[in-house]
């Protein structure tokens, strides 16, 4: 089935369009908006974005595969990124990864059986002063210990808003909500 | 001597709701903008030059000089691209500015745009930093509602819009030409220079790419005056001026972001600001300014007996006692980078550190050039083998040969052995 943006999300795109000198510049923002709706970037999404911006699907696919934040396969309702780079590792990031693997019963790169969480490793998330840290959807949790993880995961399980739109997007609807 | 803590850039960090326009204006916000507009563009550029403001993104190029390279043409607009793609391991300073004092950033963008006759500023923020993106977007909205942005900036005949652009997770996009490619909707692969962005930048138009902290410092420069700002630095005489944000992480008691004059020493950063190495442990090594900057050790001393050597004043002192400035750090064979240090104590395995960082570079290599794309993964694997004690005597030679292969030298040497005297000579036609 062909992919279509909801009118509410399309409005965000229309609002961004006149701000850039070229249509192609919208590739990354539009992919973010689409990913917020679809959960991941499927071939249908790539075709939709290419058509919307008058590009070839190869151009769009090239962008999708280049950037880490674009998910190329379906992910869980929540995405957990564990920072594995130096400062966090010095402070015990490997214990956090191990604890998460145990608590979620899945390995890094996999989704839990109930589809609630996808566990991924991230490169430096610019929170080195608060290592070890994780990013859960669009939120940072710093200065972690394995004991603190339970409460964070439970809270995420209970949060039911948004369905697959939980895949965070820096320019989508969730980003526009008051905070 | 205790480190001075001037609290100019971090003035509002502890204010409740510091990210709102009301809080920023209550502490004197946007007064620098009014002063700047009264001064006029040329005078602003002169003040920034006099401030000896070195770029805060890593390269340390003088911002005032960079601004003078902007090549305007009548048929193309000028742009400013703000580099807020903070991703260098260890670097944590720009995120705090965006989250805690977004209006200071926005005010800096407006003053810079006014000085350079720019009508569109693109702020490229790392996609992961959702809160920072929200805060800067909200600040732009508030500033527009208040008349600091839009068709008439503070009732002047000057039009300005700020576009917040979220990246999508690529370390390389912190490099200025990759950032421009990414902004244009392409893969974030670097461009060949020249032409430099100041001549051909975003969308083919002249563009100044500045780090976010560099521009967030501009309101303070206007407020104090360029020369007075520069003199806050301990390295004013080396044309490295002002105050800046320092970050510290790893094995210290108080990791975080601190403001201090340019030119404090690494020892002061670790002991006075960072609270010292964690209890019961001793310092092993420090990465002074983000993972690309070579490691320093306490036991190494400066060797500069020649009086003309830039580091002669510190001859015989530990590397940790040399002031952190762009030129002094270069003299030590490392770089100042982003001024965000990673501290490691004696429990750290340096082989594992190298492996960790090589894994980072292997993952983040953009893949455009072979030495980095293939080499980083090779180096990560080699480090892993050494760590697991699978290394053997041939390994270093093996590593050297791989490196030569990546640089094309191995092949050239073989050709030279076979009697091709011109192998590798760019002048020779093969």
CATH classification of the domain holding B323: 3.10.20.600
- B252 and B333: one domain? yes
Q: B241, exposed or middle or buried, with CB in 10 Å at 0-12, 13-18, 19+? A: buried
Q: Which residues contact A58 (CB under 8 A, 6 or more apart)?
A: none
- B205 and B111: one domain? yes
Contacts of A125 in chain B (CB under 8 A): 128
- B358 and B336: one domain? no
How would you write the pLDDT of chain B (430 residues) with one tens digit per residue?
678 778 999 999 999 999 999 999 999 999 999 999 999 999 999 999 999 999 999 889 999 999 999 988 889 999 999 999 999 999 999 999 999 999 999 999 999 999 999 999 999 999 999 999 999 999 999 999 999 999 999 999 999 999 999 999 999 999 999 999 999 999 999 999 999 999 999 999 999 999 999 999 999 999 999 999 999 999 999 999 999 999 999 999 999 999 999 999 999 999 999 999 999 999 999 999 999 999 999 999 999 999 988 899 999 999 999 999 999 999 999 999 999 999 999 999 999 999 999 999 999 999 999 999 999 999 999 899 888 887 665 566 766 776 666 666 666 666 667 666 666 555 544 3
pLDDT computed for residue A168 by the predictor: 57
Q: How many CB atoms lie within 10 A of CB A101?
A: 15
Residue in chain B nearest A66 by alpha carbon = B187
- B136 and B26: one domain? yes
- B216 and B101: one domain? yes
- B320 and B191: one domain? no
Q: What is the mean pLDDT of residues A144-168?
A: 77
pLDDT computed for residue B386 by the predictor: 87
Domain assignment of residue B427, yes or no: no
Q: Determine what percent of chain A is predicted with pLDDT higher than 90.
A: 77
- B203 and B319: one domain? no
| Facing B187 at nearest CB: one of A63, A84, A124 | A63
Q: Does A91 touch chain B (CB under 8 A)?
A: yes
Size of interface A-B (CB pairs under 8 A): 157
pLDDT computed for residue B385 by the predictor: 87
pLDDT computed for residue A163 by the predictor: 39
Number of domains in chain B: 3
Contacts of B118 in chain A (CB under 8 A): none
Contacts of A19 in chain B (CB under 8 A): 120, 161, 163
Per-residue pLDDT band at A39 (split at 50, 70, 90): confident
Domain assignment of residue B254, yes or no: yes
- B131 and B221: one domain? yes
pLDDT computed for residue B5 by the predictor: 79
- B183 and B107: one domain? yes
Identify whether the C-beta of residue B120 lies closer than 8 Å to the C-beta of residue B163: yes
- B344 and B355: one domain? no
CA of A6, closest CA in chain B: separation in Å?
A: 21
**Which tokens in the block code for residue B308?**
């003309």
Q: Any idea which residue has 């917040």 for tokens?
A: B164
Q: Check pLDDT > 50 for residue A139.
A: yes
Fold designation for A78-166 = Glutaredoxin (3.40.30)
CA of A79, closest CA in chain B: separation in Å?
A: 12
Mark residue B355 as left, alpha or beta (left: phi above 0; alpha: psi -120 to 50; beta: remaining): alpha
Q: Does B292 touch chain A (CB under 8 A)?
A: no
- Give the Cα-Cα-Cα angle B147, B152, B156 (nearest 5 degrees): 105
Q: Crossing angle of helices B31-39/B102-116, nearest 10°?
A: 10
CB contact under 8 A, A19 and B163: yes
Domain assignment of residue B154, yes or no: yes
In whole angstroms, how far apart are CA A91 and each of A68, A130, B290, B358? Answer: 24, 9, 17, 18
pLDDT computed for residue B73 by the predictor: 86
Using the 3D structure, point to which of B168, B196, B230 is the last residue of a domain: B230
CB contact under 8 A, B167 and A67: yes
Domain range A7-68, CATH class: mainly alpha
Using the 3D structure, point to which of B348, B367, B391 is the last residue of a domain: B348
- B284 and B305: one domain? yes
Q: Check pLDDT > 70 for residue A178.
A: no
Contacts of B139 in chain A (CB under 8 A): none
User: Do the domains spanning A7-68 and A78-166 agree at the CATH topology level?
Assistant: no
Identify whether the C-beta of residue B78 lies closer than 8 Å to the C-beta of residue B114: no
What is the distance between the alpha carbons of residues B276 and B255, in angstroms, rounded to a whole number? Answer: 10
Domain spans of chain A, in order of start: 7-68, 78-166
Instruction: For residue B119, give the nearest of B155, B82, B143, B149 by alpha carbon.
Output: B149
Q: Mark which residues 92-121 of A lie under 8 Å from B by CB.
A: none
Domain ranges, residue B73 = 21-230
pLDDT computed for residue B207 by the predictor: 97
Identify whether the C-beta of residue B289 lies closer than 8 Å to the C-beta of residue B339: yes
pLDDT computed for residue B425 by the predictor: 57
DSSP assignments along B31-65, one per residue: HHHHHHHHH-HHHHHHHHHHTT-B-TTSS--BHHH
Identify whether the C-beta of residue B121 lies closer than 8 Å to the C-beta of residue B79: yes
φ, ψ (nearest 5 deg) of residue A118: -115, 130
What is the distance between the alpha carbons of residues A149 and A70, in angstroms, rounded to a whole number? Answer: 25
φ, ψ (nearest 5 deg) of residue B29: -65, 150
Cα distance between the two ends of chain B: 63
In whole angstroms, how far apart are CA A138 and each of A20, A108, A168, B29, B334? Answer: 26, 19, 5, 29, 35
- B45 and B182: one domain? yes
pLDDT computed for residue B424 by the predictor: 56
Q: Mark which residues 117-136 of A lie under 8 Å from B by CB.
A: 122-131, 135
Q: Does A70 touch chain B (CB under 8 A)?
A: yes
């Amino acid at each position: 089935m062909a992919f279509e943006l909801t009118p509410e999300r399309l409005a965000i795109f229309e609002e961004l369009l006149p701000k850039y000198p070229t249509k192609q510049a919208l590739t990354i923002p539009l992919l973010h908006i689409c990913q917020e709706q679809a959960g991941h970037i499927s071939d249908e999404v790539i075709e939709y974005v290419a058509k919307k911006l008058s590009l070839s699907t190869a151009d769009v696919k090239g962008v999708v595969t280049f950037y880490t934040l674009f998910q190329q396969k379906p992910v869980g309702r929540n995405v957990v990124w564990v920072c594995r780079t130096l400062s966090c590792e010095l402070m015990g990031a490997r214990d956090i990864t191990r604890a998460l693997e145990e608590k979620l019963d899945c390995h890094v790169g996999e989704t839990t059986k109930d589809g609630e969480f996808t566990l991924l490793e991230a490169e430096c998330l610019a929170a080195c002063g608060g290592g070890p840290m994780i990013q859960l959807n669009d939120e940072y949790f710093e200065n972690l210990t394995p004991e603190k993880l339970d409460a964070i995961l439970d809270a995420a399980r209970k949060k039911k808003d948004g369905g697959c739109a939980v895949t965070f997007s820096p320019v989508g609807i969730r980003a526009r909500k008051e905070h | 001597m205790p480190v001075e803590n001037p609290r100019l850039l971090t003035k509002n960090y502890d204010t409740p709701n510091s990210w709102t326009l009301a809080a920023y204006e209550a502490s004197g916000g946007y007064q620098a903008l009014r002063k700047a507009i009264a001064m006029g563009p040329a005078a602003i550029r002169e003040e920034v030059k006099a401030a000896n403001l070195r770029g805060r993104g890593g390269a340390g190029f003088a911002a005032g000089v960079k601004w003078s390279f902007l090549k305007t043409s009548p048929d193309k607009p000028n742009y400013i691209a703000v580099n807020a793609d903070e991703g260098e391991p260890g670097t944590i300073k720009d995120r705090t500015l965006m989250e805690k004092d977004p209006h200071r950033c926005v005010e800096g963008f407006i003053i810079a745009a006014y000085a350079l006759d720019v009508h569109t500023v693109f702020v490229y923020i790392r996609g992961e930093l959702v809160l920072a993106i929200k805060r800067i977007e909200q600040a732009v909205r508030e500033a527009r509602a208040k008349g600091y942005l839009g068709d008439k900036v503070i009732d002047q005949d000057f039009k300005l819009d700020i576009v917040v652009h979220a990246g999508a997770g690529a370390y390389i996009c912190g490099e200025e030409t990759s950032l421009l490619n990414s902004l244009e909707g392409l893969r974030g692969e670097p461009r060949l220079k020249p032409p430099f962005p100041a001549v051909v930048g975003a969308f083919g138009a002249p563009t100044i790419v500045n780090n976010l902290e560099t521009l967030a410092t501009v309101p303070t420069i206007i407020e104090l005056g360029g020369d007075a700002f520069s003199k806050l630095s301990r390295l004013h005489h080396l044309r490295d001026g002002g105050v800046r944000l320092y970050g510290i992480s790893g094995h210290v008691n108080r990791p975080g972001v601190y403001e201090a004059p340019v030119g404090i020493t690494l020892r002061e950063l670790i002991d006075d600001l960072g609270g010292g190495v964690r209890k019961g442990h001793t310092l092993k090594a420090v990465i002074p300014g983000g993972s690309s900057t070579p490691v320093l050790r306490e036991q190494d001393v400066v060797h500069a007996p020649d009086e003309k050597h830039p580091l002669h004043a510190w001859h015989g002192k530990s590397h940790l006692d040399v002031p952190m400035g762009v030129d002094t750090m270069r003299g030590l064979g490392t770089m100042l980078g982003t001024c965000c240090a990673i501290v490691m104590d004696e429990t750290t395995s340096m082989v594992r550190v190298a492996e960790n960082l090589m894994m980072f570079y292997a993952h983040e290599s953009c893949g455009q050039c072979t030495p980095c794309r293939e080499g980083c993964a090779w180096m990560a694997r080699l480090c892993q083998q050494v760590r697991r004690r699978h290394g053997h005597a041939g390994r270093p030679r093996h590593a050297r040969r791989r490196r030569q292969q990546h640089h094309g030298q191995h092949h050239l040497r073989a050709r030279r052995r076979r009697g091709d005297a011109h192998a590798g000579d760019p002048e020779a036609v093969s």
